[in-house]
Each structure stands twice: as C-alpha cells, then as structure tokens.
Amino acid sequence: MPNKNTSTVFTYIKGYIEPFKLKVALAIISVFMSANAVLSGGYSLHLFVNEGMQQHSFYEIPLIWMSLSILFLALASFGRSYYASWIAIRVSHVLRQKLFEKMLHLDVNFFESANTSDLVKKLTENLSMLEHYLGKDVSVLLRNILLFCGSTTMMILSTPWLLAQTLLVVCVFIFPLIILARYIKKITTKSQEKKVALTHILDEVIHGIKTVQAFTKENFFITSFQKHNTQSFNAAEKYIFSKSIFAFIIIILTACFIAIIAYFGLQKINANELSHGQLVSFIYFSIVLAASLGSFPELVSKTKAINSVLVALKELEEQTSALAHPENIKNLPIKSRGIVAIHNVSFSYPTHSNHKVLENITLSLAPGEKLAIVGPSGAGKTTLFSILLRFYDPQAGTIHFEGVDLKDLSLTELRKSIAIVPQEPDLFFMSIYENIAYGNPDASESVIEEAIEMLKLNDVFNKLPHGRNTLVGNKGARLSTGQKQRISMARALIKQPRLLLLDEATSNLDALSEKVIQNALKQIMARCSSITIAHRLNTILSSDAIAVMENGAIRAIGTHADLVVKDDLYRKLVSLQFKNQKYG
Ligand SMILES: Nc1ncnc2c1ncn2[C@@H]1O[C@H](COP(=O)(O)OP(=O)(O)OP(=O)(O)O)[C@@H](O)[C@H]1O
Ligand SMILES: [Mg+2]
C-alpha cells in the first residue's frame, strides 16, 4: 500500500465531515465539557479535603460542586457519544454508497485485476474501522489531549516544584511504554494479515464448493484453513498478552508514581509547605495525566491504521475507468435495427498485453441480419462480444453501431440497445420472475409475459415450490444450467434490443427445449439483428452469414453452402458434428 501523506488523507475525510458542521461543533463542545468536568473533579477534591474535612464547615459546597461536576460529565459524555457516533455512521453511510456507485462504473479489467475479497473488505471491514475511529477514538484522543494539557497546567499552577520532581519519574514511565506500544503495533498488523489469509480461503471454498467436494479437496482446505487459523490465533494471543501486560505495567507504574508523589508531598505537608487538599488534588491530576498518557500509544497506532484505511478508500474513489468517456456524446438514430461495422479490430487483454486475442477483425451486420460465428475454443468469439459491449476498448481498429463510433456513445445507451445471453448465465439472489424483469426495469408486464410465454417458462415455474416467485439461490444454484439459460434468454428479450448477442445460448438445452427456443428465437431475430456463437452447427444453418474464427482472426465468411466448399476448418467442424450426431 503506498504510504500517502497523513495530512492528505485526513483532508480527504474532512470533505465528508464538513457537511455536518453543527454536529461536529456540538461533539467538540461536548469533548471540552467532558474534559473540563474531569479536571474540575480535582478542584472538588481540593475543596472537599481542605474545607469539608479539615475545617468541619461549608461541607455542602464541596459536595454540591462534586455533584455538579458529575452531572456535567454525564451530560458531556452523552453529547460526545451521540454526536460523534452520529457523524461516524453518517460518514460511513455516505462513503459506502459513493464507493459502491463508483465501483459499479469501473471497467471490467479493474475487477479482473483486483482481489475480490480485498474489495469486499474495503466496503465492509475498512468502513467499520473508520466508523469506530470517528465515533469513539477521535473524541477520546481529543479529550485525552485536553486532559493531559489540563492536568499538567493545574499541577504547574498549584505546586510546580512537586511537578518537576514528578516529571523526572514520568520520563522513566514513558520509556517502557513506547517500546511496548511499538511491539503491539507490529503484532496487530501481523494478526490482521493472518485474518486476510483466512478470508481468501473462505472466499475460494464458498464460490467453488462443488468443485472442492467433487475433487474431495475438503481435507486440503481444512488443513490450509487450520494452518492459517492457528497462525491467526497465535498472533491474536500475542496481541492480547502484550495488551494486558501494557495495562499491568501502566497500573504498576501509576502506583509507583503516586507513592513517590505521596512521599514527597507528605514531607512538604509536615514542613507546612503544602495543604492536604493540594496533595490530594495533585494525586488526582497525576492519575488523570497517567491515564491520558497511557492511552496515547494505542490511539496513535489506531490513527496510523486509519491512515492506511483512508489511503485504500481514497485510492478506490480516485480509480478511473480505462474506458474514455466521450467528449461529445452522440445519440443512436431513433429508427434502426442493429447495424454493426467492425473494421480492422485488434485486441489484447490488458492483463496479457503481449498476446493478441483478436487480430484485424473486419465484420459487418446489416439491419435485421443474422450472423453466426463458429470456431475452436479460445478463438476469441466471446472476446468479440465483450468488445461490442465495450467492456474493453480495442488497441486498433474501429467499431460503429448504427453508424456511430462506440467511443462517441454513452455506455448506458449502447448497453441498453444490445442484449446478451452469456455463455455462463449469471442469476442473482432474487426470485425467478425478478431475475427476468431485471433485464429491463421499464418493461411492461405484457412484454415480460410474452417472453415467458415464448420461452415456455411456465413449464419451469410449475416444477418449483413457489412458482415464479421461487428464489433461485446463490447464482441460481437451485436451477439447472438449461433452465438458467432460458431465464437468461427471457431477460435479454425483454430489453427489446436492436442487437442480440447469443453466446452458446442453447448449449445446455435438451432437444425439446432447444426446439422451443429456436422457434422463439426465430420470432425475436425478425425484430433485430443478431450474432450467434454456436458450437452446434444445426442451430445456425439458417443464418444469413457464418464467420469462421481461428486464433483471433476471421479465416472465412459465407453461407453454410459456401463454407462447406471453401473452408477446410468449417468442413472439419461439420464432419465432426455429423459424426457426433450419427453416434450421439
Ligand atoms: N478476461 C480475460 N483476461 C485475459 N485473457 C482472457 C480473458 N478472457 C479470455 N481470455 C483469453 O482470450 C482468448 C480467447 O478467449 P475467448 O473466451 O474469447 O474464446 P472463445 O472463442 O469464446 O472460446 P470458447 O469457445 O471456449 O468459449 C483465450 O486465449 C483466453 O485465454
Ligand atoms: Mg466463449
């Protein structure tokens, strides 16, 4: 993580706090009030001992003073806790929303390069840490600074010579604390690192549980989890031990400290140079000073940790999409049916920039035309769809949609006009019906019903416990892949797109379902242009044109009849398929 300047990151968070100036002012006033109440406790003790106990008179005054101080402290504590916590939860709420929105508009490459558990951590754990820091630690830090300064001032004003003797002891007092605080900071970082490793394993297991179980890798993951879990426990044990030692040392040092003050103070009382009240209040201020001083190492280390959290959040907020935003946005013509012109496009994935996945691709699609793409696995077919949806920009060549350069269109308008049925259907944790409606929030009920009818989805609904309202489970886990493909297709249809992209959309369907879908597709394809990637050639025989792709290039294009004559690879694919059908 880059070590950004502390003031820079705190200026960053200041921008989020500024809108709540009034509440910030009330929180600060409460902190001052609370510090003041603690400090006035020393004066109360002074009065209590000198006036109340020794002169046996005016004892009401110290008692009233003491009660008022406590009341004042209670009020201030309420204000400090309420206003600081309010600001904290509000800032984290605003920041969480903003970062989430920001993240959703970043380019696909960002997500492919980022570590997902790290991203999730930023929006959850890191924001919780910030919330805790702003809600509690900042006000405690400010209060303790005030208490430190206030108690020192009171001690200087009442008995400077006793303070001078005390300070010599304080120097001894601080030294071991600094060493221990540094050690605690080191093991805190270690303990957190161990927890991150655990999150990675959890993430992998939860997302790939079927693969883990199918390959009987349970023991492998259990051993790995146990190793990291034990390391995490050991680090945490060291942390709590040193924290407890820290508290122990502070108490011992405070006791020594008070004994020393009492020793010097009693000598002065016997010499009539100090009153009892002065000594008691001095001891009180010493305890306040020791307590505030003792809290600094932990608060400083928390401040440093928050600095790193803010650096990470700021980095995410400043992340920009690799896709340049058009300076002058052009709109799509109102009436058109999906004209596509791809010219000399070459592309490499940003993560593998020396491997050309697409090379000099030139393709065009007239309104309503049906183009099919075939080719071996890894040829670059899906990548071509990703380029059309502008998930990535090609390094060379141009793409026009409805006559407009993709780079001049807003991403929203482009993606609203194109529907894709992906190779691996992606369903969300909602009901089946919601998963379909998700395709287009503006779609009328009749459009959704038409898609359901076209794809005969009522047959799927009838087999489920709550029909169309059945929750599909995590990523659609409660449905078969073929069912997911049909839902994914209905989702695409209700977009009423200008261009339909089908990526192996019928690869997991049985013969009957495929027939239903082919009929549905026939009707839909009459309304828009389409590009179909298919391994099963019988699904694309009626296409207007078929492009054969190999190693990122288009090696031939034509109708089925043309290609059987002129392209070896296509002929091979056809003969293999024929063989499969014969024996399949
Ligand atoms: N996100 C990615 N980052 C880096 N390389 C990728 C990425 N996606 C695909 N590739 C690589 O790009 C090449 C083309 O992949 P693509 O998915 O386009 O092939 P495909 O023709 O659709 O194959 P299939 O028929 O198996 O679906 C492959 O070599 C693949 O490893
Ligand atoms: Mg593919």
For residue 434, what is the domain's CATH number?
3.40.50.300
Alpha carbon separation from 53 to 49, 276, 277, 286, 420 (Å, rounded): 5, 10, 9, 22, 86
| Token digits of residue 250 | 């502070």
Q: Which of 260, 285, 318 is the last residue of a domain?
A: 318
Q: Provide the domain limits for residue 429.
A: 340-583
Do 353 and 308 lie in one domain? The reply is no
- In this structure, how many other beta carbons lie within 10 angstroms of the beta carbon of residue 388? 22
Ligand nearest to the CA of 374: 1
Verify whether ligand 1 is closer than 6 Å to residue 568 (CB atom).
Answer: no
Query: Which of 113, 359, 383 has most ligand 1 atoms within 8 Å of CB, for mutation?
Result: 383
pLDDT tens sequence across 53-62: 666 655 677 6
1 located within any domain = no
Please, what are the averages of pLDDT over each run of 10 residues along the chain (584 residues)? Answer: 59 89 94 91 80 63 78 90 94 93 88 77 85 93 94 87 75 72 74 76 81 82 90 86 81 80 86 86 88 82 85 88 86 86 95 91 94 94 95 95 93 92 85 89 90 88 88 77 86 91 81 78 86 86 92 94 91 78 42
Residues in the chain: 584
How far apart CA 316 and CA 319 sit, in angstroms, is 5
Give me the pLDDT at residue 54, please: 64
Q: Where are the alpha helices (DSSP H) in 159-217?
A: 160-207, 209-214
Do 293 and 378 lie in one domain? The reply is no
Contact 374, 555 (CB under 8 A): no
How far apart CA 387 and CA 414 sit, in angstroms, is 12
To 10 degrees, the CA torsion angle through 248, 254, 255, 259? 160
Verify whether ligand 1 is closer than 6 Å to residue 383 (CB atom).
Answer: yes
Quote the DSSP letter at residue 324: P
Do 71 and 31 lie in one domain? The reply is yes
475 located within any domain = yes
Contact 246, 293 (CB under 8 A): no
What is the number of domains present in the chain?
2
For residue 234, what is the domain's CATH number?
1.20.1560.10
Do 422 and 549 lie in one domain? The reply is yes
Do 187 and 283 lie in one domain? The reply is yes
- Strand-pair partners of 371: 531, 545
Phi, psi of 228 (to 5 degrees): -70, -35
- Give the list of residues 6+ apart from residue 97 with CB closer than 8 angstroms, or none: none
DSSP notation for 6-63? HHHHHHHHHHHHGGGHHHHHHHHHHHHHHHHHHHHHHHHHHHIIIIIIISS--THHHH
Closest ligand 1 atom number to CA of residue 383: 18
Verify whether ligand 1 is closer than 6 Å to residue 21 (CB atom).
Answer: no
Verify whether ligand 1 is closer than 6 Å to residue 379 (CB atom).
Answer: yes
Strands 356-365 and 529-533: unpaired
Ligand 2 is an ion; its neighbours by CB within 5 Å are 382, 423
Do 280 and 143 lie in one domain? The reply is yes
How far apart CA 353 and CA 381 sit, in angstroms, is 18
pLDDT tens sequence across 138-161: 999 999 999 999 998 988 888 888
Residue 495: closest CA among 435, 452, 436, 440: 440
Closest ligand 1 atom number to CA of residue 380: 18
Contact 451, 494 (CB under 8 A): yes
335 located within any domain = no
Kind plus residue range of the DSSP H or E element containing 421: strand 418-421
Q: Which residue has the tokens 């394993």?
A: 201
Kind plus residue range of the DSSP H or E element containing 496: none
Contact 368, 529 (CB under 8 A): yes
329 located within any domain = no
Do 433 and 293 lie in one domain? The reply is no
Verify whether ligand 1 is closer than 6 Å to residue 470 (CB atom).
Answer: no
357 located within any domain = yes
Question: Whose C-alpha lies nearest to ligand 1, atom 5?
Answer: 349
Do 313 and 457 lie in one domain? The reply is no
End-to-end CA distance of the chain: 55
- Strand-pair partners of 420: 501
550 located within any domain = yes
Give me the pLDDT at residue 278, please: 87
Q: Is 552 in a helix, a strand, or coil?
A: coil
Considering Cα of 76, then 81, then 84, then 86, what sign does the dihedral take?
negative
Give me the pLDDT at residue 414, please: 93
Question: Whose C-alpha lies nearest to ligand 1, atom 18?
Answer: 380
- In this structure, how many other beta carbons lie within 10 angstroms of the beta carbon of residue 112? 12
Closest ligand 1 atom number to CA of residue 379: 21
Do 296 and 353 lie in one domain? The reply is no
- Strand-pair partners of 399: 342
pLDDT tens sequence across 335-348: 877 899 999 999 99
Verify whether ligand 1 is closer than 6 Å to residue 386 (CB atom).
Answer: no
Do 401 and 308 lie in one domain? The reply is no
Quote the DSSP letter at residue 498: S
Query: Which of 111, 351, 381 has most ligand 1 atoms within 8 Å of CB, for mutation?
Result: 381
